[in-house]
Amino acid sequence: MHSTSRIGASIQSSIVNTVNTIIGAGVLVLPYAIRTDSVLLGVFLIIFAGVTSALGLIIQGITSKFLPQGTATFFSACRLTYPKLSLVFDLAIFLQCFGVCVSYLVLTGDLMPLVFSISGWSAESMKVFYVLSSMLLIVPLSLLRKIDSLRYASIIALVAILYICLLIYGNFISAYLHDWKNIPKEKVGNFSYVKPEGLKLMFKTLGVIVLAYTCPNQFSIVSELHDPSIERINKIVCLSMSITTFVFISVALAGYFTFGNALSGNILLMYESTLYSQTGRTLLVLMVILSYPLMFHPARISINNVCHVIKNTYFHQQNNSTITDRSPLLQTLETFQVEESNNYDSGDDDEVPLSNSMFYILSFILLIASYCCALLLSSFEMVLSIVGATGGVLISFVLPGFYGFKLVATNDQSLKQKLFDNSPIEASNPIFQSKLLKKASLFLIIWGLSVMLICLYSIIFE
């Protein structure tokens, strides 16, 4: 007899999806992180960030067992653990997505002058021209209510990142075989194996490393997994993060040892204009322009949720006790229903009201703000540092830490009952009673908030 349950994703496909989700444009700045931190400390920080990020993903998997299968999201997890953190969740998603949008525009301005140089124009003029020209594609795509057709951008992203990694490996091998004589002398520096350039610079690049590991849709991967047992989830996390960490370390070292301490922030800017490097730059520009709307869409939804919460909390406090299901972010945990979670997870933008006028107002404000930020913040690595120190830290460490601290080894009988109701077979797994994991969750919170404060301090007061 055939089971009526769905046939979900395999472990292999889930690993591929996880790795594909994590590895992105942030890999371009990892060689610069090695230059800033030194080889020894840089590799250590990449591994440590990988381990702590893996811990956050494991906690997300554990959290999903307290919810009906296939319904786990950051939103539903916040509603289950700390309902008031729903606002923090939306802010984290907004910071993450909006910041990535800005970084895409900065990257476009950096790369396009190298792909298509305009005779007689200065580098700054070309950058402004190409950033503003990207509006021709980005604005219409960002104003679409539904952007399902852009899901194929992930294929372009995968091809682009794979090609760029091979480009970095290939240039290192070529430099090594030619004893670095094929690289202009001004682009070759000494190597720093132990001594970092400075504590403040090290903390700046830490945000980049954290952002590189951010996996904002791990809940979706878990929800689609066939037989999503804790053992299978942990296996996916461990294998995915091992592969990702290997790629990050190998790309970072290959890029660094190609140019040494002469390396600038974005390694693609270091390569001579050959057919291979131009192809990589063109692929990356195409990827980021198509990916911008994919990041813009959740950013708009999240900031609308934030506005909705602020409006209802601070301007309609007298009505808080009678808020209906049209305001899901403000419902109490006791009135939370599974069907409401399913509606939210389905991607229905109107779960929190978003009128046509508000849709366009928020769209134009965010578009203008992102373009202004991109023109003001000329450093790609600085943008990634800020995004990593805010949205990346919240998604990777702080929120999972709160989930784990609330759910693991809990004495709350209602939470224990939810675990038993939603995952009766897994409920007896010792991991749910692990006091060590509970302490590790607390460590994630402290670690995440510390990284956020230190990185932001290093960026603002550099």
The 10 Å CB-count burial string (b at 16+, else e) for 49-62 is bbebbbbbbbbbbb
Tell me: pLDDT of 349 over 60. Answer: no
Confidence of residue 286 (pLDDT cuts 50, 70, 90): confident
More confident residue, 352 or 321: 352
Tell me: pLDDT of 421 over 70. Answer: yes
In a domain, 347, yes or no: no
In a domain, 60, yes or no: yes
State the number of CA atoms in the 13 A half-sphere of 122 facing the CB. Answer: 3
Considering the chain, what is the average pLDDT of its residues?
84
In a domain, 348, yes or no: no
Closest CA to 18 of 164, 151, 209, 154: 154
Query: What does the alpha-carbon distance between residue 29 and residue 381 come to, in Å, rounded to a whole number?
Result: 6
In a domain, 18, yes or no: yes
In a domain, 169, yes or no: yes
Return all residues near 9 (Cβ < 8 A) that are at least 6 apart: 17, 221, 224, 225, 226
**Helix locations, 65-152, DSSP H:** 74-81, 86-115, 123-133, 135-142
Kindly report, residue by residue over 19-77, the tens digit of the pLDDT.
887 888 888 889 999 999 999 999 999 999 999 999 999 999 999 999 998 888 787 88
Query: What does the alpha-carbon distance between residue 404 and residue 446 come to, in Å, rounded to a whole number?
Result: 13
**Helix locations, 260-316, DSSP H:** 275-314
**Please, which residues bridge with residue 225 across strands?**
9
In a domain, 255, yes or no: yes
pTM of the model: 0.81
Into how many domains does the chain fold?
A: 1
pLDDT at 341: 36
Confidence of residue 442 (pLDDT cuts 50, 70, 90): very high
Q: Which amino acid is at 106?
A: V
Size of the chain, expressed as the number of residues it contains? 462
Please report, for the domain that includes residue 265, its CATH number: 1.20.1740.10
The secondary structure element, H or E, covering residue 162 is helix 153-177
**What domain range includes position 379?**
11-319+354-461
Confidence of residue 149 (pLDDT cuts 50, 70, 90): low
Cα R_g (the chain), whole angstroms: 23
- Is there a contact between 67 and 337 (Cβ–Cβ < 8 Å)? no
How is residue 266 written in tokens?
A: 């974005």
Return all residues near 189 (Cβ < 8 A) that are at least 6 apart: 259, 260, 261, 262, 263
pLDDT at 288: 86
- Is there a contact between 28 and 164 (Cβ–Cβ < 8 Å)? yes
- Is there a contact between 396 and 52 (Cβ–Cβ < 8 Å)? yes
Kindly report, residue by residue over 79-127, the tens digit of the pLDDT.
889 887 778 778 888 888 898 899 899 999 988 998 888 888 988 899 9
The 10 Å CB-count burial string (b at 16+, else e) for 418-456 is bbeebbeebbebebbebeebbebbebbbebbeebbebbb
**Please, which residues bridge with residue 9 across strands?**
225
In a domain, 333, yes or no: no
The secondary structure of residue 65, as a DSSP letter, is: T
Q: Which amino acid is at 139?
A: V
- Greatest alpha-carbon pair distance for the chain in Å reads 74
Confidence of residue 462 (pLDDT cuts 50, 70, 90): low
Q: Which amino acid is at 280?
A: G
Q: What totals of helices (H) and strands (E) does the chain contain, helices first?
A: 19, 0
Confidence of residue 294 (pLDDT cuts 50, 70, 90): confident
Strand, coil or helix: 225:
strand
Kindly report, residue by residue over 362-384, the tens digit of the pLDDT.
999 999 999 999 998 878 878 88
Kindly report, residue by residue over 312-322, the tens digit of the pLDDT.
776 655 554 44
Among positive and negative, which fits the CA dihedral 338, 342, 343, 345? Answer: positive
pLDDT at 338: 35
Kindly report, residue by residue over 168-187, the tens digit of the pLDDT.
999 999 999 999 988 988 88
- Is there a contact between 394 and 40 (Cβ–Cβ < 8 Å)? no
Closest CA to 157 of 300, 289, 12: 289
pLDDT at 436: 95
- Is there a contact between 299 and 98 (Cβ–Cβ < 8 Å)? yes
How is residue 322 written in tokens?
A: 């009678």
In a domain, 324, yes or no: no
Confidence of residue 1 (pLDDT cuts 50, 70, 90): very low
Strand, coil or helix: 196:
coil
